Amino acid sequence: MELHQVEGSREGGTVTVHGPFEHVPDRSVSRVDSGYGPGLTGVPVVAPAHTSSSHPSNVHDHPEAAAGGGSDSPATVVPDDSQPLFSAFSKYEKLFIVVMVTFASFFSPLSGQLYYPIMPTLVRNYHLTPELINLTITTYMIFQGLAPSFMGTFADSGGRRPAYIISFAVYTAANIGLALQNSFAALLVLRCLQSAGSSGAVAFGYGVIADIATTAERGKYIGSMAAGVMVAPALGPVVGGLLAKFLGWRSVFWFLAIVSGVYLVLYVLATPETARKIVGNGHAVPNEWWRRSAIQWWSKRQAQSDEEGNTDARVSAVPAYQDTYSFVILLKWDALIIISYVGIVMFSNIALLTSTANLFGPLYGFNELQIGLCFLPLGVSSCLGAVLYGQVIDYNYKQTAQKLGFPVDLKKGDDLRSFPIERARLQTIFPVMAIGVAAFIPYGWVLQQRVHLVAPLVLQFIIGFCFVASLNCLNTLLVDLFPDKPATAASACNLGRYCLGAVGASVISQILSGMEWGWCFVFLGLAMGVGMGLLWIENVYGMGWREKRLLEIKQKKEARAAEIQVEGNADGRERKDTNV
């Protein structure tokens, strides 16, 4: 898909683009006080239409501020070069935070992948049918979708640190219980708790990335985090197979309990709060002790803030818990399209994983360890897709901005209200997804014809790269569309993808046996191909939906402000009457 040509310039107040984004007003404004921390203040001064801002603001990263500008009256605001950076965290602090987020996101898929090699053992030990053991996967995936819907909203309103600490405490306790249980009922319940504790970490991770990374660099950071998530398909079955073979199936859960416990201690000691509603751009240090890492108690920054007395965090109390906005996000057309396609890809991925776990043993005579090794090509290519395509996503964003004459500010963020971010992100997904679908369709026939092992593994490598690259692109766009609620948006995505994944896990065995392997993968491949039409709709109409949503936010804020003013006037009259 080619970029549209631009006519005119931003100095004239408008940018005219051929295509669905014609006559987009230039609405660059300065950074205003949007309630995201100290230093984010500035008085908007309307300048003549010919004045342009050389430093576009990051108001799209704070829609409350963005909604305050009129959509019908293009205005430029005098920039303030003294405005702070988008993130006050240093390069190495960001690196440490991303590493911690990556490891946290690793646990949820790892728990699922470690479980696959021990499923045959559990069937024998508990005298279960394959349908019953698959129920533990179905319930696990249902909770992977439901739990983040609540915890993601909590992470956006109450902070990242409390959300991480609560989740990993539950997860570690669940793993200890799984290692000690002796019944199928306990296995089923504790697997649900294990899923609830670990699944929120992926959603929290998207929130943390949105806290510390501007739009122009968000792709590479999300790619790095996604790479950690995708290591699980490569290492999980291998580690699970080794543990089950030499130490027994209980060692799998003891391993998870020990590793997650160590991570929880390290997180409490060293990882700072990043939520912008609580610490702004990261310069502020929270007042509450549970929001501070142990290192922050002794840090130079904290010592200086105590001396100056004016750099504490803006809030001193826990923000009010918001409604479960994940379900509301699903009602937005642009989010619904993205999440629906993610769900289709997830369903297809479940078919791929299930075929490897269930079919490679009978087809090639492999044991648990050998089956685990067969997941390596998929995991390695998934990591490559996440890391490499994250760079491609950022590159395409900058190229699109350059062709549209849109200045990119890597330090202070960009105002995306007049920028077609949907086009910049989705341009990268169509070619790579087409390749993935082309490799996915013949995969079932390759297995059905019992072709040499090299053939399905090569196809898995291609599919893994393309699927993860596409999902990385869609997840980045979802964070761009809801930058003030990134963890909640990611939770909504989890809700859609894992609910469809749960359906896939429960019915894929029947589909494989009923349709035959070849036709099953043909059907799912065609579903992904046809589903790309949904992404084209988002590419064309997404910006209009986004602008309409910002206008609704503005109207709600104005209505709320009017209500507060009326209540204040009424209270004033009441006090005056009382004094009289």
**pTM listed for this prediction:** 0.67
Range 329-340 average pLDDT: 85
**Of 172 and 402, which is predicted with more confidence?**
172
Which residues have CB under 8 Å from 349's CB, separation 6+? 467, 501
The number of C-alpha atoms within 13 Å of 358 and in the hemisphere containing its C-beta is 17
3-state secondary structure of 269: helix
At residue 493, the pLDDT reads 81
At residue 540, the pLDDT reads 87
Instruction: Tell whether 9 is covered by a domain.
Output: no
Tokens of 165: 């600490």
CA dist 191 and 144 (Å) reads: 11
Radius of gyration of the chain (CA): 25
Angle subtended at Cα 387 by Cα 87 and Cα 100, rounded to the nearest 5 degrees? 50
CB atoms within 10 A of CB 183: 9
**What sign does the dihedral 104-108-113-116 (CA atoms) show?**
positive
pLDDT in tens, 349-358: 888 887 787 7
* Cβ-based burial of 561 (10 A; exposed 0-12, middle 13-18, buried ≥19): exposed
| Listed range (50-59, 211-220, 247-256) with the worst mean pLDDT | 50-59
pLDDT in tens, 93-120: 888 998 999 899 889 888 888 887 788 8
Instruction: Tell whether 544 is covered by a domain.
Output: yes
**In CATH, what number is assigned to the domain containing residue 480?**
1.20.1250.20
At residue 41, the pLDDT reads 32
* Percentage of the chain lying above the pLDDT 90 cut: 14
How many domains is the chain partitioned into structurally? 1
Phi then psi for residue 78, to 5 deg, are -65, 120
Residue 526: which pLDDT band, with cuts at 50, 70 and 90? very high
| Listed range (287-296, 371-380, 407-416) with the worst mean pLDDT | 407-416
Tokens of 155: 């992470």
The strand pair at 46-47 and 76-77 is best described as antiparallel
Instruction: Tell whether 19 is covered by a domain.
Output: no
CB atoms within 10 A of CB 303: 11
Instruction: Tell whether 2 is covered by a domain.
Output: no
pLDDT in tens, 432-448: 999 999 999 999 899 88
At residue 554, the pLDDT reads 77
- For the chain, what is the mean pLDDT? 75
Most confident region among 58-62, 351-355, 372-376, 427-431 by mean pLDDT: 427-431
Phi then psi for residue 76, to 5 deg, are -115, 140
Q: Return the H-helix or E-strand segment holding 126.
A: helix 91-126
**Of 230 and 366, which is predicted with more confidence?**
366
Which of 504, 506, 220, 206 is CA-nearest to residue 338?
A: 206
Q: Is the pLDDT of residue 397 over 90?
A: no
The number of C-alpha atoms within 13 Å of 158 and in the hemisphere containing its C-beta is 19
Instruction: Tell whether 262 is covered by a domain.
Output: yes
Range of the domain at 513: 91-303+322-553
pLDDT in tens, 8-54: 433 333 333 344 333 333 333 333 333 333 333 333 333 333 333 33
